[in-house]
Each structure stands twice: as structure tokens, then as C-alpha cells.
Amino acid sequence: MSGAVEIQRLFLSSPKFAVVGASKDQSKFGTKVLKWYQGRDKNVTPVHPKEDELEGVATIRALSDLPNPAETSVSIITPAKITLGLLEQAKALSIPALWLQPGAEDPAVIKFIQDNGLSEKVIYGGPCILVEGDGIIKSLL
């Protein structure tokens, strides 16, 4: 368990954040996660292949468009098939930490995480930033 908390602390200590999976639909988890960051004055960038802005923030098209990927933790709220490609990009870009919302992973995603040495960088398998994020932020103060 302590390992999971360590990754969450690593994730939330980044100076910048990105959210993949936010949309114009405010009832969806991706948008709720984006708004969670905004509500805590975090430097957050939505990643979306088609929209130019979400929740008043300019989007980028892909993780590769991040100005400082090595300083950016990424929340992923996507179907598992998409998550797999995002993990490949994140590894290539040296993104420090990723938080997969529940449901963003499947056995292939978990195998990729384990086979590519990403277990120390990726939160998956249950914890939700909307539930656990504030406690982690407090623990960093």
C-alpha cells in the first residue's frame, strides 16, 4: 500500500499536469478530473485530438505537444485501447508519473506497465484522484 501512496505523492508533486480524456461533456470523469485540477489552482493542460479548448483552457493535441513532458504528471481517463498508446508515448517522453482512472486499464495495459518498468510511475487498479487527491496534497504540505 505504501508504494501506491508514494506514487501518488510523486504524481501530485509535479509542477504541471495534463488530462487525457476530458471532453465537452461535463458529466464525464475526464472533465471532472480537469475541473478538480482547476479547483486547486494546478497548472493543467487538457489533451484532446479535436477540441481547441476545454473548460476555458487551451488544449494540446497529443502528449508529444507538452512543452515540459518531464515535469508533467498525466491523468488518463480513456478506454484501455487508447491508454496503451498513451503509455508508450509517456515512456518515450519521460513523463514522471501517470494516474489511470479506474477503467482506463485492462490486462494488456497492466502487462505493458510491468514489462516496461513503469510500475513505480503509474497509479492504476482502483484509486481515483477525485477521492484520494486532496488527502495526498495535504500530505505534501
Q: Where do the structural domains in the chain lie, given as residue ranges?
A: 2-140
The yes or no reply on domain 2-140 and CATH 3.30.60.50 is no
Is the CB of residue 133 less than 8 Å from the CB of residue 122? no
State residue 1's pLDDT score.
42
Stretches where the chain sits below pLDDT 70 are 1-2
State residue 110's pLDDT score.
97
State residue 79's pLDDT score.
96
Is the CB of residue 34 less than 8 Å from the CB of residue 55? yes
State residue 85's pLDDT score.
96
H or E element at residue 137 = helix 129-140
Q: How far is CA 69 from CA 15, 19, 73, 82, 140, in A?
A: 11, 13, 8, 19, 22
Task: Supply the DSSP string of 9-33, one letter for each residue.
Answer: HHHHTSSEEEEES--S-TTSHHHHH
C-alpha torsion sign, points 128, 48, 16, 111: positive
State residue 2's pLDDT score.
55
Tens-place pLDDT, residues 70-106? 999 999 999 999 999 999 999 999 999 999 999 999 9
State residue 3's pLDDT score.
80
